Amino acid sequence: MDKVVNLCKRRGFVYQSAEIYGGFRSAYDYGPLGVLLLRNVKDAWWRTMVQLRTDVVGLDASILSPPEVWEASGHLSNFTDPLVDCRNCGARHREDQLEDPEVCPNCGARGQFTEAREFNLMFRTQAGPVAGAGADVYLRPETAQGMFINFANVLNTMRNKPPFGIAQIGKSFRNEITPGNFIFRTREFEQMEMEFFVPPDEAAKWFEYWCGARVDWYTGLGIPPDKLRLRPHGADELSHYSAGTADVEYLFPWGWGELEGIANRTDYDLAQHARHSGADLEFYDQQADQRYRPHVIEPAAGATRTMMAFLLAAYDTEEVRGEARTVLRLHPRLAPYKAAVLPLSKKPDLQAVSEEVLGLLQPRWMTDYDVTQSIGRRYRRQDEIGTPYCVTVDFDTLEDRAVTVRDRDTMGQDRVPIDGLVEHLGAELGL
Ligand code: ATP
């Protein structure tokens, strides 16, 4: 864990937010490499969940929302964590996360906790210049409600018929009592959620389907199956809206942690919004002459948390000819750069060909360009940030118009003509 956190900072993946002011606790900024990796995680999700399907459409709803939405969804009254304070040291804990409900993990005092209080996790702010109850708005604690309140809009404009889904990626905000474990739990984070609307009698079938499909997504992008599990919730764990939930969990260095929750939300949300808003949130099936309120299966994943799992799973060290090599074995789809062009020397004629090669690759893939230090060190630098292929331009290139393509994982090298390079890399990357 420490090694990965260290690499994240050293190589520009993740920085502590407001570091020059001493750091803003539990908030992180994504650096030049991190923004690429995070974007690739989100793009991979969108590709699987929207692009490669005919039954899911996208949405980007607003982050600020009026209290009515959260009253209807149940978040104003239910989205709370039980909070206890230690009378001895003043530390605040989530009661449901204490290893021993009597003992303060901060100071070790026994039996010093206050009565648990329910603490609402939503961030409240105000819209407009005048404070007051009428101006209260909330930062969304999940993206899901955007899909429910736009259900009728999407239905009317896209002519969908259940089973169909609405997918969204975006920021969510929760005033977590105990943020921590790097970017695993932060107060501002990104989610990738999809609401899949189905005829009520098909809900069980689709719940099973999405549990399987979501596990496959993680393993398909390189999470080892033995570090992933699907854990059904017990009855006492279920959220206020859920008729069944299973979590996709990853084996983090501190134990199993949730990456994604797949929930059978029944028609809870549509029913609540219909009641509170007066809108008609039913579907009329013309063929069967039937009107019904769809049930919803929701795979809800965290983009930032998932990025951390991909980083941890990819991190590897090995010894090569007596030297330590750190390598991020990221799936090519996730790797920040797909290739790096490395001229063997700074000589102008080598740089000219190198820029020509760069010009071939850049329009297709994020490509790094690095001219400094020895070639061995440059390979190691690319290994450490997960670049699948290094393309080296050497003096022979000037004669034979071919380059050396080095594979990150095997360190094997191929001589490839510049004319066939795009095709070669395309096939190797499989993108
Ligand atoms: P947890 O039990 O870890 O608090 P949750 O069950 O409340 O999570 P959901 O409401 O199901 O989480 O949200 C779906 C996904 O959003 C989670 O699986 C996780 O990946 C992500 N997520 C939720 N809260 C956070 C957070 N504070 N920081 C980062 N990601 C989060």
pLDDT, residue 373, reads 92
Indicate which atom in ligand 1 lies nearest the CA of residue 248: 18
pLDDT, residue 70, reads 97
Q: How buried is residue 150: exposed, middle or buried, by Cβ count under 10 Å (0-12/13-18/19+)?
A: middle
Q: How far is the CA of 351 from the centre of ligand 1 (A)?
A: 47
Q: Which residue ranges in the chain fall short of pLDDT 50? A: none
- pTM (2 d.p.): 0.94
Indicate which atom in ligand 1 lies nearest the CA of residue 258: 18
Set out the domains of the chain in order of their start, with CATH numbers.
2-68+139-311 (3.30.930.10), 337-429 (3.40.50.800)
Q: Are 143 and 167 in contact (CB under 8 A)?
A: no
pLDDT, residue 97, reads 87
Q: How far is the CA of 391 from the centre of ligand 1 (A)?
A: 40
Measured from CB, residues less than 6 Å from any atom of ligand 1 are 142, 174, 176, 185-186, 189, 191, 258-261, 300-302, 304-305
Q: How far is the CA of 96 from the centre of ligand 1 (A)?
A: 15
pLDDT, residue 75, reads 95
Ligand 1 atom 29 nearest Cα: 185
Q: How buried is residue 63: exposed, middle or buried, by Cβ count under 10 Å (0-12/13-18/19+)?
A: middle
- pLDDT tens, 288-327? 999 999 999 999 999 999 999 999 999 999 999 999 999 9
- Among residues 305, 308, 307, 325, which one has the least CA distance to residue 316? 325
DSSP assignment letter at 235: G
Residues 6+ apart with CB under 8 A from 126: 132, 135, 136, 137
Q: How far is the CA of 125 from the centre of ligand 1 (A)?
A: 22
